[in-house]
Amino acid sequence: MVTIKEVAKKANVAVSTASYALNGIKKVSPETKEKVLQAARELNYRKNGFASDLKRNSTKTLALILSDLSGPFYSELIRGVQDVATDHGYDLIACSAIGGENSTAAKFLTEHRVDGCIVLAHNITDEMLKNVAHHHFPIILLDREIEIDSTVHVRVSNKRGGFKATEYLIQNGHTDIAFVSGPSNSYDNKMRFAGYQEALQAYNIEPQNKWVVSGNFTREGGESAANILAAQDQGPTAVFFANDEMAVGGMEAFQKRGISIPNDISIIGFDDILEAKYVNPKLTTIRQPKYEMGASATHLIFQMLKNEKVNPIFELHTDLIIRESVKKL
Amino acid sequence: MVTIKEVAKKANVAVSTASYALNGIKKVSPETKEKVLQAARELNYRKNGFASDLKRNSTKTLALILSDLSGPFYSELIRGVQDVATDHGYDLIACSAIGGENSTAAKFLTEHRVDGCIVLAHNITDEMLKNVAHHHFPIILLDREIEIDSTVHVRVSNKRGGFKATEYLIQNGHTDIAFVSGPSNSYDNKMRFAGYQEALQAYNIEPQNKWVVSGNFTREGGESAANILAAQDQGPTAVFFANDEMAVGGMEAFQKRGISIPNDISIIGFDDILEAKYVNPKLTTIRQPKYEMGASATHLIFQMLKNEKVNPIFELHTDLIIRESVKKL
DNA sequence: GTGAAAGCGCTAACAT
DNA sequence: ATGTTAGCGCTTTCAC
């Protein structure tokens, strides 16, 4: 490996001069600069980023921690993060939390390898986050329930969204409304369900246990939930899937059984994934402001980096997107 | 920031001893070890990963360079990379090549921040790759045309795949076969088109310029290509979309115009994306072995790291996946 | 088993 | 404008 020392020697200057030249610091005369650059080129010099970060005590990079790099994820959200990071001259890397304590995520979280982290991973334990969170190392948690000291949460109003979805169904004349839930340990799911229940109550509709079935947030889960619902003597006239992924699977399952959407049954989802508008009929759903979530999270990091005080909770709103999958009764 | 020095002081040992204890090196007696660990806990010590990497001169991490972190990408491929990296005790980070010379990707490529790179990004120039590639820094290029010294290429047999797709159409009685191409600067696209042409020639079918339309590898591009094709007096009986993304868009566009698939027109794609089997009718396509691409690329990196000789080109094969979108004439 | 000390490659304060 | 040098936090050789 060729170091700055060798470059300096070849250019007949001191290391400091070489460093200044290489970093474009004006102190150095144009001729010396060119000499250094030339030497660097000839030696094919590449700086050692770690050494430089170590010295400067700053990495100018942010990490985005995801449950699984290869999982499906919100590209809009990432774009939000990326845009803001770039605006501030920061780099962004993504890493996976698979492996828990031994994951790449853990390494970045604990070893001062980045200046801040955005965590969108449910496989990172609260325990670990607690151990790592301290001042001067900003951590933003997305969609987490538990509050952790010196950590900031960015959330979406899942409960209000669940309420809106259910209310929209009710306003279209539905009273027999099923809820297909995600995994029970999911904070998102819990809140969306709470919104569903609240809406039923607000409109004096008796909740029915048989109409709450679970679907694990996956397409397949949505299919089997739809099949369970369709097999009942007296099925619901509408179903609220706790995410679009399941709604898409559910729609397919209903249609396969000859049940027409929205004529025989109305469907509403949650998330507004890309596919929602390509499915047939187009899916009515609750949109999460994903780009804004990413952008806000990143803005918060920079505020924290500047030692500004930030509110520990930042909540964003949801919108009802009306398309074609709900019929007025 | 609390350093190992402070831990050592608190534990009343030398830094070296603290280092041994912290790294689980057996030299140190159980009691001293416990003393050190205790001190570290109390001080909430986090090691500085850079300092350690700098000293060890190895990062034990690989970078996966993508055109755009927020773009749609092959999660199967990433899983392949991830699995193999993990097996070798390496970490994996993903970063974006947006910004070219100033991108995060460039930083990782040039600054010795990782032990090897897998590049799946067309916005990294050959020039840059050339400057960076040298022995002891393994770089694997995915789906690239130009060969670069001391760099290894993993490819898929796009041309054979294009041939197979076209041949399958021909074997089903089609002779009026359109080709919807991707961006002209894409190596994948070029090769798939070459396969298409070769198949036509092999079966003595006259190629028709009016049946080659471009679609930019996007869903929208597929839609407009389909619309162009559908508007022709005498349209094709089959169309080969150079990727599934476009095929899905094209199918929707055809169906919107009342053209039935596969009754009125047959469709074949390329890639076998997840959606291919959820679309209606299910899409017949050419599958790329994406997991294997990722896994092979990563294996190659480790071979290079061990200074083993590797072949500069590694080609994987494609398979025809027959589903429902092609009809026998 | 433990400690002292060199040094990884770089930056920046200070001296010239 | 350029050079000398301390030191970032860590690992590891060598001496005890």
Q: Which nucleotide is nearest to B20 (CA to C1')?
A: D11
Residue A43 belongs to domain with CATH number? 1.10.260.40
- Of the two residues A143 and A247, the one the predictor is more confident about is A247
Distance CA A92, CA A86 (A): 8
Residue B19, in any domain of the structure: yes
Q: Let me know whether A13 and A85 are in one domain.
A: no
Q: Let me know whether A143 and A164 are in one domain.
A: no
Structural domain span for residue B146: 59-156+291-317
Q: Closest Cα of chain A to B55: distance in Å?
A: 9
**What mean pLDDT comes out for the span B197-220?**
95
pLDDT tens digit sequence for A180-218: 999 987 888 999 999 999 999 999 999 999 999 999 999
Which of A69, A218, A282 to mutate against chain B (most B CBs within 10 Å)? Answer: A69
Which burial class, exposed, middle or buried, applies to A187 when counting CB atoms under 10 A from its CB (0-12, 13-18, 19+)? middle
How does DSSP classify residue A124? S
Does the CB of B16 sit below 7 A from strand C? Answer: yes
Residues of A in Cβ contact (< 8 Å) with B112: 1, 46-50
pLDDT of A116 reads 96
Whether the bond between A262 and the residue before it is cis, its omega within 30 degrees of 0, is: yes
Q: Taking 70 as the threshold, does the pLDDT of residue B132 lie above it?
A: yes
Return residues 141-200 of A near B (CB < 8 Å).
none
pLDDT tens digit sequence for A302-312: 999 999 999 99
Q: Let me know whether A235 and A181 are in one domain.
A: yes
Asked if A2 reaches chain B (Cβ–Cβ under 8 Å), the answer is no
Asked if A83 reaches chain B (Cβ–Cβ under 8 Å), the answer is no
Average pLDDT over chain B, rounded to an integer: 94
Residue B324, in any domain of the structure: no
Residue A16, in any domain of the structure: yes
CB-based contact B143:B121 (threshold 8 Å) = no
Considering only the beta carbons, identify the residue of A50, A70, A113 that sits closest to B79: A70
Considering only the beta carbons, identify the residue of A46, A50, A278 that sits closest to B50: A50
Q: Let me know whether A173 and A212 are in one domain.
A: yes
Residue A115 belongs to domain with CATH number? 3.40.50.2300
Q: Which nucleotide is nearest to A5 (CA to C1')?
A: C9
Residue B52, in any domain of the structure: no
**What mean pLDDT comes out for the span A229-247?**
95
Residue A250, in any domain of the structure: yes
Buried b (16+ CB within 10 A) or exposed e, B130-167: eebbeeebbbbbbbbeeebeebbbbbbbbbbbbbbbbb
Q: Which residue ranges have CB below 7 A from strand D?
A: A 12-17, 20, 27-29, 31-33, 51, 54-55, 57; B 1, 3-5, 15-16, 19-20, 22-23, 47-48, 51-52, 54-56
Q: Let me know whether B115 and B67 are in one domain.
A: yes
CB-based contact B164:B191 (threshold 8 Å) = no
Asked if B113 reaches chain A (Cβ–Cβ under 8 Å), the answer is yes
Residue B174, in any domain of the structure: yes
Kindly report which listed range (A135-139, B8-12, B237-241) carries the lowest average pLDDT score: A135-139
- How many CB atoms within 10 Å of residue A185? 9
Considering only the beta carbons, identify the residue of B50, B78, B94 that sits closest to A113: B50
Q: Let me know whether A190 and A235 are in one domain.
A: yes
Does the CB of A47 sit below 7 A from strand C? Answer: yes
pLDDT tens digit sequence for B97-111: 999 889 999 999 999
Strand C proximal residues, B:43-82, Cβ < 7 Å: 51, 54-55, 57
Residues of A in Cβ contact (< 8 Å) with B55: none
How does DSSP classify residue A270? S
pLDDT of B287 reads 96
pLDDT of B242 reads 97
- Total beta-carbon pairs less than 8 A apart between chain A and chain B: 123
Residue A328, in any domain of the structure: no
Distance of CA B295 to the CA centre of its chain: 11
Q: Let me know whether A183 and A274 are in one domain.
A: yes
Q: Let me know whether B124 and B168 are in one domain.
A: no
Q: How confident is the model at residue A101 (pLDDT cuts 50, 70, 90)?
A: confident
Q: Taking 90 as the threshold, does the pLDDT of residue B145 lie above it?
A: no
Q: Let me know whether A166 and A283 are in one domain.
A: yes
pLDDT of B117 reads 96
Does the CB of B14 sit below 7 A from strand C? Answer: yes
Considering only the beta carbons, identify the residue of B53, B79, B94 that sits closest to A93: B94
Spatial neighbors of B309 by CB under 8 A, at least 6 apart, are none
The gap between the terminal CA atoms of chain B, to the nearest Å, is: 73
Q: Let me know whether A194 and A267 are in one domain.
A: yes
Domain count, chain B: 3
pLDDT tens digit sequence for B57-96: 999 999 999 999 887 667 889 999 999 999 999 999 999 9
Return residues 264-293 of B near A (CB < 8 Å).
275, 278, 280
Order across the sheet with A266-268: list the strands.
Answer: A212-214, A177-181, A238-241, A266-268
Per the CB < 8 Å rule, is B69 touching A1?
no
pLDDT of B72 reads 67
Q: Let me know whether B166 and B262 are in one domain.
A: yes
CB-based contact A142:A119 (threshold 8 Å) = yes
The protein residue nearest nucleotide D1, judged by CA to C1', is A28
Residue A327, in any domain of the structure: no
Q: Taking 70 as the threshold, does the pLDDT of residue B118 lie above it?
A: yes
Return residues 217-256 of B near A (CB < 8 Å).
219, 248, 252
Share of chain B above pLDDT 70, in %: 99
Does the CB of A16 sit below 7 A from strand C? Answer: yes
pLDDT tens digit sequence for A126-149: 888 988 887 779 999 998 877 788
Q: Let me know whether A295 and A205 are in one domain.
A: no
